[in-house]
Amino acid sequence: MTFDLFDNLPEPDSRGGEHSEAIGPGAVVLRGFALSRALALRQAIEQVHAQAPFRHLVTPGGFRMSVAMTNCGTLGWVSDERGYRYDPNDPDSGRPWPAMPAVFVELAREAAAAAGYPGFVPDACLINRYTPGTRLSLHQDRNERDLHAPIVSVSLGLPAVFLFGGARRADRPARIRVAHGDIVVWGGPSRLFYHGIAPLADGDHPLLGTLRLNLTFRKAG
């Protein structure tokens, strides 16, 4: 008789460490993909912040966003009373956004390729900073000129619940836990799907304390 001790183990891919999970058409979570570069990413974020500090933008409806934001790259995402747009300059300083650090560009390119989107060259990186209680309500990312390019979204620090809906605002979103080092890549059929971040739970992360940082890479121009 042969009986296999390992029959009931999950596939190698789902045993933890680095693996990927499909979360929708053209959308995947690469678990742990950024982990080995987390320290370099944190340092690079500090350098961007020194030149272009995090700030709370105002929505076109006049509400102050609870998530603090900054940008690097040739284009930065901004919001004010006039609407959402990409701007080559930081409206607070009037200067161009800081250049995208090499460690960012390389990570985004590798993650996109791993998710089936080779040749991704981002020109915009939005950096989101969350503290416990902050959230990002359901929205579509549709201010980018080229909707063929995917979006690469890197999570660092405290874990969050990524709400991933469908093509219509009324589609009930799936709740996907995104932890330190995870990368969500989406594009193709789900490029315009509604998504958001549920209110961040309390916690204390060894590298980032009471923060969640999110890098969202796009080809915006």
Using DSSP's 3-state secondary structure scheme, residue 36 falls into: helix
Beta carbon nearer to ligand MD6, 68 or 136: 136
CB of 33 closer than 8 Å to CB of 23 = no
Spatial strand order in the sheet of 27-31: 19-24, 27-31, 183-186, 151-157, 212-218, 124-130, 68-73
CB of residue 46 to Fe ion, shortest distance in Å: 23
Distance in angstroms (rounded) separating the CA atoms of residues 177 and 21: 12
CA distances from 59 to 15, 87, 100 (A): 41, 16, 25
CB of residue 61 to ligand MD6, shortest distance in Å: 18
Q: Which of residues 141, 150, 164, 178 is near Fe ion by CB under 5 A? A: 141
CB of residue 95 to ligand MD6, shortest distance in Å: 25
195 annotated ligand binder = yes
Q: Which of residues 30, 151, 176, 183 is near ligand MD6 by CB under 6 A? A: 151
Q: Which of residues 109, 129, 195, 219 is near ligand MD6 by CB under 6 A? A: 195
Distance in angstroms (rounded) separating the CA atoms of residues 196 and 133: 14
Distance in angstroms (rounded) separating the CA atoms of residues 219 and 216: 10
User: Which tokens hold the place of 38?
Assistant: 């987390």
141 annotated ligand binder = yes
Q: What is the amino acid identity at position 150?
A: P
Beta carbon nearer to Fe ion, 20 or 214: 214
> Rule CB under 6 A: is residue 216 a binding residue for ligand MD6?
yes
> Rule CB under 6 A: is residue 128 a binding residue for ligand MD6?
yes
> Rule CB under 6 A: is residue 20 a binding residue for ligand MD6?
no
Distance in angstroms (rounded) separating the CA atoms of residues 170 and 96: 38
CB of residue 90 to Fe ion, shortest distance in Å: 20
* Sequence ranges of the binding site for Fe cation: 139, 141, 195
- Interface residues with ligand MD6 (CB under 6 A) are 128, 136, 141, 151, 153, 162, 184, 186, 195, 197, 214, 216
